Structures are given as C-alpha cells and as structure tokens.
Amino acid sequence: MSLNNFDSHGKRRILLNECKKVYIQRDYSQALVIRFSTEFPEELENYINRQLWTEFINNLNQIYSDAEKLSSRAYMENIIALLTCHLSRLCFKSFWTKKLEEAESLIEEANQQHFVKDGVYVGNPLDKGFRVIEVVLLDEPFSVAEKTDKDGISAPVQGLQPR
C-alpha cells in the first residue's frame, strides 16, 4: 500500500480494500432484532477510546431498535403502501427508511469527527446486509502471505485473516 498517495488537494488517499479490517459481529441474542455486539474489539485498543466506541455502538443499536418498533404509524404506512401498490413510497419515506438514513448520518458524523482522525473508518452495516460492521484500520496495510511452491517460487496469497 502506498502511503504517499495524495489527491490534488494535498489530502492522502487510502484504498480501503488494501487496509486491515476488523468485523463487529451482529448480536443474535435477541433473535432477529438488528443489534451489534457492544464488546470492545482488542484490535481497536490503540485507535479508539473504549467509552466513545461503546457509546457509538449503543446509539446505533438504539436507532435500529426504534426503526423496528411496531407502532400505529408503522401499521398505517404499510396499509397505505399496500392499498396504493407501494406507489405511496414515491411520495413519502417510510419510518424505517428515515431511521436508516439517521443511522447512516450517525456513522458519517462519527467518522468525520472522531474515527478517521484516529486512523479508523467505520462502514455502514447496511452495505454488509446488517451481518457485521466493517471497521477499516487506515494505517495498517493488509498483510499478504507468501506461498512457496515445490520449485522455490514464492507468490503472494491473499486470504482471510482470522480474528
């Protein structure tokens, strides 16, 4: 990974696919409720304040919890959507969509204010189907293992690195 890769504004460009990643697993202890583990990953120990991380995950979990609550508003939105063959979705956003946008803005804001400055980028869990939160360590290149064949020729082998 080239760390001297700068854009025209003098800012460093980093390719996220060339950086080491840490995955925060979804917490399935409450069945299908979207909730992520609040356990602090040891890989982030030198990057992020533990309290800041826990607060961020708790806020994210709260947004997803609010989005899934059944209310009269949710029932009415769904009835109207069914009666209009979902054309009503063109006129107004559902409560669920608004909460997804709120979660996205929380992630973007946290990245800009805290995480990127500390060398970490937090991805949107929607991009991974709400299975994991991808955390990219910006200053750690993804290490490539070398594999040597029977003729003594070594070739890079990229694979998954267990946590």
Full residue range of the structural domain in which residue 137 is found: 20-157
Residue 128 in any domain: the answer is yes
pTM listed for this prediction: 0.75
Residue 118 in any domain: the answer is yes
Per-residue pLDDT of the chain (163 residues; tens, 9 = 90+): 444 565 555 566 667 777 889 999 999 998 888 999 999 999 999 899 999 999 999 999 999 999 999 889 889 999 999 999 989 889 989 999 999 999 999 999 999 999 999 999 999 999 999 999 999 998 876 665 555 556 666 555 555 454 4
Say if CB 128 and CB 134 are below 8 A apart.
Answer: yes
Distance (Å, whole) CA 154 – CA 134: 31
Distance (Å, whole) CA 140 – CA 44: 12
Residue 139 in any domain: the answer is yes
Residue 92 in any domain: the answer is yes
pLDDT for residue 156: 55
Residue 4 in any domain: the answer is no
Residue 69 in any domain: the answer is yes
Residue 12 in any domain: the answer is no
Number of domains in the chain: 1
